[in-house]
Amino acid sequence: MKLPNSFDINEWFILICILIAYSIVYLLPKRFPLSVTILIMLFSSTIARFADHILSTPRIDLYDIMNSPYYDLFDIFTYVLVAPTGYFFVYFYDRLRIKGYWIAVYIVIWSTFGTAFEWLSSYFKVFIYKGWKPTYSFTFYLFVQPLTLLFFKYVTFIHQKTPKDN
């Protein structure tokens, strides 16, 4: 895996955010089995990777991640950072027992948070926009977050149906 050409503010931003996010995950009371936690985190990272792969390819080329259009080690770290964000989204959804129309409100709040964090990330040159605007991300989050909740519901349903070894 290629290392970044220079170690500057965007790499520091990613490392500090990863440290903070995973510290919070560690400190929060455990709410889900480890397998469910891992699946939620992998799902979140996979969706982000898939979207970035489509939107930042040379044909579409709406933005670059980190310092260059080329894939390097810190591109992977950005997906490592996405994982706890998806976990927090599901954790607080479950913890607050959100129901009914409040689910839509919750999704809008988290979409706003995601867009604001993406804007902050762009300030630190994690995302270099070429034709993309953070407001487009808001629409993307409105689509992806309900999918994340459906995935969470499915995974927890399957986990509850799976016989446990004693």
Condensed to tens digits (0 to 9), the pLDDT of residues 111-137 reads 999 999 999 998 998 888 888 888 889
Categorize the per-residue pLDDT at 4 as very low, low, confident or very high, splitting at 50, 70 and 90.
low
Condensed to tens digits (0 to 9), the pLDDT of residues 22-37 reads 999 999 999 999 999 9
Residue 29 burial by Cβ neighbours in a 10 Å radius (0-12, 13-18, 19+): exposed
- Ranking 6-10, 17-21, 138-142, 154-158 by mean pLDDT, the lowest is 6-10
Per the structure block, which two tokens stand in for 47? 């969706």
Categorize the per-residue pLDDT at 86 as very low, low, confident or very high, splitting at 50, 70 and 90.
very high
Contact indicator for 76, 84 with CB cutoff of 8 Å: no
Residue 95: DSSP 8-state? H
Residue where the block lists tokens 């959804």? 93
Q: What is the pTM (predicted TM-score) of this model?
A: 0.89
Q: Give the span between the Cα atoms of 66 and 74, in whole angstroms.
A: 7
Report the DSSP beta bridge partners of residue 65: 68, 127
DSSP code string of 7-42? --HHHHHHHHHHHHHHHHHHHSPP-S-HHHHHHHHH
Per-residue pLDDT at 139: 93
Per-residue pLDDT at 166: 47
